[in-house]
């Protein structure tokens, strides 16, 4: 069986294809991956998966890297590859943060556009007198988003700014 997944390997949660694959494997099977960083990019996740596979009698084969988890050297090599995969992920994350900070400083990056129509939330609250849960249901958004937006409006009103009613 061949499985492919688009989700990032930086975290194990949310990787449904990986979970389907792990659930499918039985004693005597071999899990084949092209590279360790395709399986996990966190040393802890890699070690957890490796221990789970070993406990279930499943072998792990990596086609682009000589990994044999049956030997002490192979286990150490697996951990080193996992450590480097995690290191690369952290470097990429740091570089991305630095790039975003630099773009913000130049005024180029403004973040993603708001997905909530704040004016509509306020209109439903003020004109239709709807509660937060009813607003969230009507707009198909989370209640926490409505609470956060209304809280921001209340804070602005308390500070004398914003367009919110001070009643």
Any residues with CB less than 8 A from the CB of 119 and at least 6 apart, and which? none
- 25: pLDDT confidence band, cut at 50, 70 and 90? very high
d(CA 59, CA 74): 12
**Domain locations in the chain as residue ranges:** 16-105, 118-158
Tokens at 90, concatenated: 């952290």
Q: What percent of the chain has pLDDT over 70?
A: 86
Q: Is 138 exposed, middle or buried (0-12, 13-18, 19+ CB in 10 A)?
A: middle
- 26: pLDDT confidence band, cut at 50, 70 and 90? very high
Q: Assign domain 118-158 to its CATH architecture.
A: Orthogonal Bundle (1.10)
pLDDT over threshold 60, residue 9: no
Give the mean model confidence (pLDDT) for residues 147-157: 83
- 110: pLDDT confidence band, cut at 50, 70 and 90? confident
Taking the whole predicted model, whether its pTM rises above 0.85 is answered as no
pLDDT over threshold 60, residue 163: no
Any residues with CB less than 8 A from the CB of 31 and at least 6 apart, and which? 21, 25, 53, 58, 59, 60, 61
pLDDT over threshold 50, residue 31: yes
Residue of 125, 115, 118 whose CA lies nearest to 134: 125
Q: What angle do CA 56, 22, 82 make, to 5 degrees?
A: 90
Pick the CATH number of 16-105 from 1.10.10.10, 3.40.50.1390, 3.40.50.2000, 3.40.50.1580: 3.40.50.1390
The reply to whether domains 16-105 and 118-158 share a CATH topology is: no
């Amino acid at each position: 069986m061949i499985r492919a997944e688009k989700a990032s390997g930086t975290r194990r949660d949310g990787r449904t294809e990986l979970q389907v694959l792990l659930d499918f494997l039985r004693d005597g099977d071999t899990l084949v991956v092209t590279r360790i960083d395709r399986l996990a990019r966190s040393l802890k996740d890699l070690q957890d998966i490796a221990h789970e596979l070993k406990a279930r009698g499943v072998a792990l084969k990596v086609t682009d890297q000589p990994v044999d988890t049956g030997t002490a050297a192979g286990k150490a090599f697996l951990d080193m590859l996992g450590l480097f995969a995690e290191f690369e992920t952290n470097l990429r994350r740091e570089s991305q943060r630095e790039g975003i900070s630099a773009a913000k400083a130049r005024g180029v990056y403004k973040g993603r556009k708001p997905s909530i129509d704040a004016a509509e939330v306020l209109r439903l609250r003020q004109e239709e007198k709807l509660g937060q849960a009813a607003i969230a249901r009507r707009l198909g958004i989370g209640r926490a988003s409505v609470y956060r937006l209304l809280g921001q409006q209340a804070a602005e009103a308390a500070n004398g700014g914003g367009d919110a009613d001070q009643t």
